[in-house]
Amino acid sequence: MKNSVFIAVIVLGVVMVVALYFQSKNAADKAYTNTIKKIRTEKDLFMATSPESPFGTQSNFTRLKYYEPNSKWKTTGTITQLDDTIPRFMAMTNKRAQRFIRYGYTDFKLSGQTCRLYLYIQPEDEFNTQHLFIPFTDVSNGKETYQGGRYLDVSLPKEGEQLQLDFNLAYNPYCVYNPSYVCPIPPSKNFLNIAIEAGEKKYEEGK
């Protein structure tokens, strides 16, 4: 009898721990989703009203299109810094090239695959290496996302920490919305052989 009571107490305790875990996880997922949606709402407002918006004074802007936020597209990666002082020139949409600093690369896992992306510093951030630029392409391009690829901005982590990658924040180049803008074309090495179903989708005017 005592053994049965003891086992029942243990089982109840395990059930409570599991329930608390899922309750906590659901609350964290909801908070994360709300944060992503708030960022997107603020970006739509900027696009619709700011004089710096690539849409300019166009009145036909409605909103940008996105995949639903999903924490499965958040991951962490290791960073390998390259001792590379040779300037790297990235192709631009105006058929010219612009100098970028290739900081290094990050290795990470996503959807069960091991991936690698090269990290760049944009010319305007040359003396501020805390911000890294990741232009990338993936299998979704030309289908649900812009055929030319998308961008991701990340912060350089502190020493000993891993790089935080959140593809829910992937965004389109400004030249998608306005052909007068000149944008970097993602290098061929930054192709991910999976469909990144996260972040911004193709923009279709009036839809």
Strand partners, 133: 120, 153
Domain count, the chain: 1
Give the pLDDT of residue 16.
59
Give the pLDDT of residue 206.
55
Q: What is the DSSP string of 35-94?
A: HHHHHHHHHHHHHHH-TTSTTTT-S------BPPP-GGGEEEEEEEE----S-EEEEBTT
pLDDT category of residue 205 using cuts at 50, 70 and 90? low
Percent of all residues in the chain with a pLDDT value above 90, rounded to a whole number:
64
**C-alpha dist (Å) from residue 3 to 6, 7, 10, 205:** 5, 6, 11, 69
In-domain check, residue 49:
no
Give the pLDDT of residue 93.
95
| Residue that wins the pLDDT comparison between 108 and 121 | 108
Distance CA 170, CA 152 (A): 5
pLDDT tops 80 at residue 135: yes
In-domain check, residue 29:
no
Task: Please give the model's pTM, rounded to 2 decimal places.
Answer: 0.83
pLDDT tops 60 at residue 19: no
In-domain check, residue 149:
yes
Give the pLDDT of residue 26.
73
pLDDT tens-digit series, residues 161-200: 899 999 999 999 999 999 999 999 999 999 999 999 999 9
CB-count exposure of residue 136 (10 Å: 0-12, 13-18, 19+): buried
In-domain check, residue 130:
yes
| Beta carbons within 8 Å of 122's beta carbon, 6+ residues apart | 100, 131, 133
In-domain check, residue 41:
no
Helix-, strand-, coil-residue percentages of the chain, each rounded to 5 = 30, 30, 40
pLDDT tops 90 at residue 28: no
In-domain check, residue 105:
yes
Q: Is residue 8 classed as helix, strand or coil in its secondary structure? A: helix
Average pLDDT, the chain: 86
pLDDT tens-digit series, residues 45-74: 999 988 899 988 666 788 899 999 999 999
In-domain check, residue 57:
no
In-domain check, residue 168:
yes
Q: Are 62 and 206 in contact (CB under 8 A)?
A: yes
